[in-house]
Amino acid sequence: MGNRKLTLNKLSLLSFVLMIIGILLWLIYIFIPQFSDPDSPLALSFPLWVLTWIINPIGALIGVFRIKKDFGFSLFCILGNIFVVLFGFILFFLFLFNIL
């Protein structure tokens, strides 16, 4: 077994950072109710989870650009970014049927 050196490009790391930002936005929206309550002074004009529909598809596309060089890490970032985008639909379904 040879030692394979893991080399990551800036684009791969950017894709990973965008995935982490999307996860943090969901966690803030779920666990800090002041950001989701419209009567709160901390509330924004739009919910934070909407940003995940902008940030994470960009992260997935950046991961696609790097898939030939950093296959494993880029594939992880692509799937992670897609899951964060689809997580909203999963939550909406769970809240719609009062599962959560």
Domain boundaries, the chain: 10-96
Q: Is 51 helix (H, G, I), strand (E, B) or coil?
A: helix
According to the model, what pLDDT value does residue 6 have? Answer: 58
Predicted pLDDT at 82: 95
pLDDT value, residue 45: 64
| Parts of the chain with a pLDDT under 50 | none
Quote the pLDDT of residue 62: 92
**Single-letter amino acid code for the residue at 20:** I
Q: What is the pTM of this model?
A: 0.80
Q: Which pLDDT belongs to residue 83?
A: 94
**55 within 8 A of 77, measured Cβ to Cβ:** no
